[in-house]
Structure 1
Amino acid sequence: MTTDDKDLLIRALGTDEPPLQLDLDAIEARGHARRRTRGLIAVTAAVLGVGAIAGGVVLGAGAPSALEAAAPGTLVPPAERNIAYCYQTADIGSTAPNQHVAIGVGGRDGRVDVTGQIMQICSGSWQSNAYDFQPRQAAGTSYRIPQLVACVLTGKAANATEGAVGVFPGNGSTCAALGLPTAQI
């Protein structure tokens, strides 16, 4: 803080108020220390992240997970049952806005098995166009529900939880075409 800044602050506070005992130099020093600490944390996180990636490459990371190793289209129970996804298109690599919507239903402990409900939830959202997956129509319109299929997501699914169910517009061969196992729900 410059001398002019300090003078401006003192003038803004006025002289009719009780004196405010601020150690402006100490406040400024704490701000510098916080910025320095944040910078060190960011650098440390970056170094650890690069180290983890490098270590993963050296240790053979990139090996397929058990889900990815399952034959595409094979019937597999989902490992993650507290979250599921409704997809607009049969594309697990897209990061386009509104490509998929995460669905999680919380109970008293914040955890509920949403997997058993996900087909009904996604069908209802397509029928009401809740997620704008279809062009808008007049209010009160019932939208067309495409054929839907449930697949178990692998680590290749962008911005989604591995082992969760993804519901896609498509048929029985859609999961295999995406390289995903079919969800046993």
Structure 2
Amino acid sequence: KPANAQVQFKLQWLPDSTAWGVFARPEPGVKIPKFTIIGSGQVTIVTPPGSRFYDLRSFSGTWEQNAYVATPKENPNGDYISFGMMTADPPIVLQDGEETLLFTFKAKEGQYPEWMYLMPDDDPFNQLPNSQNSNPGNDITALDPGTAIIYSFTGIYNPDAWDWRPENLVPQGPYRQGLDKRHPRIYIKP
């Protein structure tokens, strides 16, 4: 696989916190060095029209909702909500075989959507230019300064994990978050 497409995203319902989490992981077998610099990130979620969310909490990187497009003509059955990474602090650490929680958000007034998903690359609204002159989509860019290799978003994994209904629950295993890694020091011996 090319070195410029090796990070995947997932939208996961987290019943203990009654929130959805957006996770990132390297593709299986990809080893991203610890000293990688995260330069950009964006996540776009497609929801039923009128869906509202709140309580955005950043865990790896600092994220903000930076765009909301209601029912564009390319897909009049969905709203597009984009979250952009403002800084890579708390650190975003991408390790082989591990998931990293980027951020969480909750449904407004307990209104849980009937469906919701991360926008796929082939979504009709993801074709530029689009009717709203918007730049939706999913992205993460990580640079290994030692080798100049760039790692970026390649796709979505476990697309059914968003579902909040107990009968459809996809269990979430252990994961890492940048808040866990603020203070540790790594010493390199000569």
Bigger strand fraction:
2
Structures share fold, TM-score greater than 0.5: no
Bigger helix fraction:
1
Larger Rg: 1
Higher RCO (C-alpha under 8 Å, 6+ residues apart): 2
Alignment TM-score, normalising by the size of structure 2: 0.23
